[in-house]
Amino acid sequence: MSVNIRKKVAMSGSKPTTRPPTTHNCLRIVLITAQAMGNFAIDNLRAEEPGKLKFKFKSWKVLHTALFSFAYLFCASFSLYKSLTVGILLNQLISPLFYFHSFITSLLFLQLAYRWPHFMAQWSKIEIHLLKNYKATTDLSKKINYSAVTMILVALLEHTLAVCNFVYSSNCQNSSTGAEHLFKKEFHFIFNYMPYHFIFGLLLTFISWTATFLWNFADVFIVLISMIMTERFRQINQKIKINVEEVNSSSNDSSASFIKVYNTDFPKAEYKLWRQIREDYNNLNNIMSHLDQILSNLVLLSYSFNLTFILVQLFNSLRQMDSVIEGIYFFYSFGFVIARIVTVSIFGALINEESQAAMPYLTSLPTEFYNEEIQRLITQIHVDSAALTGHNFFRITKGLVLSVAAAIITYELVLIQFNQATLNKYMTANETICF
């Protein structure tokens, strides 16, 4: 009677307040925030079920994204034109790169939004099964939210220092006062060719801040997705570790070992267990391949632009800085970009590390406990380890950090060797050139 009552209460009672830590639930707040900034044009992001996610070309969200994309392209075009008129000093390329990166990233997130509902429909089925059968190793929702807030706040501080650097810079002076003076300094590449208006200045400021969010959100999104997929592999590895430790502890007893070899019932259960683990690992690996297909453009863009920013900033460090604010901004900005590319590399590499982490446990099993499913699992882990890639040009592994460092040193030496004239121009730049 009491069991029936519990069942009725469970069926008729209110829905649980805590949502399962699925990818959809973990990323909901982050994606809603991104949508407010003109990205991730998907309907029903607030829905509890991922199956309700939809992408519609004819929607205000897509129009919202298109307007922001046009604004980024507008700013990028004017800043590039200003750089061409000056003579393309490397320092002048920061603004065009910044807005072109935002423009391309907005298009890539629009492409990702188109593919996201189909991916989540497949992934949610597998993920729910994993959450039911494998114990979580961390509070993923809190970890995702705290990490996202921290990275975005650090990025906004970097942009705040950039604005302060423009305000207090001795370059790019104009005869205006008040807000007009500040707007004309920060957006010199536009107001040199277009008439000033206060509302236009406020709009450009808003576009600049949303571009900053987007410039960093691509890396934030890659890191958060990497954290989720790493956790899913870690859950499977945790179960493998527990089962292997139980087998190894029981194999120390000769009588237990005799039972495992000659009892016909237990090996069937053991075989079924390992088959389920292998199939779950295989499903997770297949989802990683699908995820890599829809994220590879974003990964390639992230590494290419981050490397370019690092090279330009390193080259700019060779010129004399006029103020303390400029020095603080430079060192913070340079350190921030370095930390960003390292963070993406480390968290992305954790997927690859966790996808192979079960190998030592599997190979430590006693010979009498090996079966076909364990052997197939070992082969798959060895041959088909999961990893994010940059359109298959490179795989995000721990060794990639050293490769990136070597590339930075090599290309920076080339820049210094072939840009002596640019360095000399830095020293004689007049006040019409804005740094």
- Is 4 inside a domain boundary? no
pLDDT at 424: 62
More confident residue, 176 or 228: 228
- DSSP class per residue in 338-366: HHHHHHHHHHHHHHHHHHTTTHHHHHTS-
Confidence of residue 267 (pLDDT cuts 50, 70, 90): low
Question: Facing residues of 389 across strands?
Answer: 395
CA angle in degrees (0–180, nearest 5) for 304-71-56: 85
More confident residue, 249 or 110: 110
pLDDT exceeds 90 at position 374: no
Question: Facing residues of 54 across strands?
Answer: 43
pLDDT at 173: 60
For residues 316 and 91, what is the distance between their CA atoms, to the nearest angstrom?
6
pLDDT digits (tens, 9 = 90+) for 97-124: 889 999 999 999 999 999 999 999 999 9
- Is 43 inside a domain boundary? yes
- Is 209 inside a domain boundary? yes
Confidence of residue 372 (pLDDT cuts 50, 70, 90): confident
Cα 2 to chain centroid distance, Å, stands at: 49
pLDDT at 366: 81
The total of structural domains in the chain comes to 1
Confidence of residue 14 (pLDDT cuts 50, 70, 90): very low
Confidence of residue 254 (pLDDT cuts 50, 70, 90): very low
Rounded to whole angstroms, what are the CA distances from 115 to 108, 152, 261, 313?
11, 25, 49, 35
Q: What is the mean pLDDT of residues 316-330?
A: 74
Contact 120, 23 (CB under 8 A): yes
pLDDT exceeds 70 at position 310: yes
Question: Facing residues of 395 across strands?
Answer: 389
Residues 6+ apart with CB under 8 A from 162: 329, 333
- Is 30 inside a domain boundary? yes
- Is 433 inside a domain boundary? no
For residues 37 and 145, what is the distance between their CA atoms, to the nearest angstrom?
17
pLDDT digits (tens, 9 = 90+) for 225-238: 999 999 999 999 99
pLDDT exceeds 50 at position 256: no
The tokens for 295 are 């994220």
User: What is the torsional sign of CA 106, 110, 115, 116?
Assistant: positive
For residues 192 and 320, what is the distance between their CA atoms, to the nearest angstrom?
26
What's the domain range around 219?
Answer: 21-428
Neighbours of 368 (CB within 10 A): 13
